[in-house]
Amino acid sequence: MQLFSFNTTKAPFNDVRVRQALTMAYDRDWVAANIYRTGEHPAYSLVPPGILNYPGTARYSWADWPMERRLQEAQRLLSAAGFGPDNPLRFEFSHRNTSDNPRVAVIVQNNWRQIAPWVTVELRGVEAQVHYANLQAKNFDVGDGAWSADFNDAKNYLYLLETRSREQNYPGYSNAEFDRMVRESDFELDVVRRGAMMARAEQLALDEAPICTSVYINSTNLVHPDLTGYEDNISDFHRARWFGIKNA
């Protein structure tokens, strides 16, 4: 999936109202339909659909609002955080200089400027390896990124926001309640209860908005009709040892 990290270790992104405002003002539906255009879905949760033993109930509380209402609420939140004509919000959005990322960055910049004329967003394109090093070092304001799960479990996504994940936790997010909820789910043997516990942790993270989810990326594969042993899966992992040819 594609997402943006807010550097919660410094102002203004240590203020949840700023993070919430920018997250709801981003038009991920437009980006999915007009930038990627290969079946991507807008992401309104951290854990994507289709994860094994996971209810998928966590979602941004404003996900069904029309954009006009979202922009109004975003401006209200930023004003409540102390920003306005006499104290404009200025920050830098860092992005990878690869694939569609520069095009997405322009849309992000435009979306956030629409909140109010006193919101200024500067773009900074960076080579991907340097960009990720900056994210790990917390040398950024807001930065884009991508994540593909190593295994089919919600923990593989929630892990990104645990305090103990350190450098992998790009936003520098630290919430003792979130950490406790995820940690307790690690020791729950009942898969239904474990899924519900992780969903509550995910909802807390979505409400706190240390990241802004963008889109769930699709994988496009050309598969010959005579190939056997190929099965679609959320991680897009396909082991060649299971492949065969019909009537071979």
Pairwise pLDDT comparison (227 vs 84), residue with the higher score: 84
- Quick one: pLDDT at residue 78? 99
Spatial distance between the Cα atoms of 115 and 42, rounded to a whole number of angstroms: 20
Q: Could you count the other beta carbons within 10 Å of the beta carbon of residue 232?
A: 10
Spatial distance between the Cα atoms of 29 and 22, rounded to a whole number of angstroms: 15
Q: 236 is written with which tokens?
A: 């897009």
Q: What is the mean pLDDT of residues 199-221?
A: 94
Of the chain, the percentage scoring pLDDT greater than 90 comes to 84
Pairwise pLDDT comparison (243 vs 167), residue with the higher score: 167
Spatial distance between the Cα atoms of 157 and 58, rounded to a whole number of angstroms: 13
Banded pLDDT at 244 (limits 50, 70, 90): confident
Q: Using the predicted structure, report yes or no on whether residue 233 has a pLDDT greater than 70.
A: no
Amino acid at 185: S
Q: Using the predicted structure, report yes or no on whether residue 238 has a pLDDT greater than 90.
A: no
pLDDT tens-place string over residues 43-78: 999 999 999 999 999 999 999 999 999 999 999 999
pLDDT tens-place string over residues 111-133: 999 999 999 999 999 999 999 99
Spatial distance between the Cα atoms of 78 and 94, rounded to a whole number of angstroms: 21
Which domains are delineated in the chain?
A: 2-221 (3.10.105.10)
Q: Which long-range contacts (CB under 8 A, 24 or more apart) does 105-108 make?
A: 105/144, 107/27, 107/30, 107/31, 107/35, 108/4, 108/26
Spatial distance between the Cα atoms of 164 and 169, rounded to a whole number of angstroms: 8
* Ordered alpha helix ranges (H), 114-160: 128-136, 155-158
pLDDT tens-place string over residues 69-114: 999 999 999 999 999 999 999 999 999 999 999 999 999 999 999 9
- Quick one: pLDDT at residue 248? 66
CB 70 within 8 A of CB 170: no
Banded pLDDT at 235 (limits 50, 70, 90): low
Of the chain, the percentage scoring pLDDT greater than 70 comes to 97
The DSSP secondary-structure symbol of 84 reads B
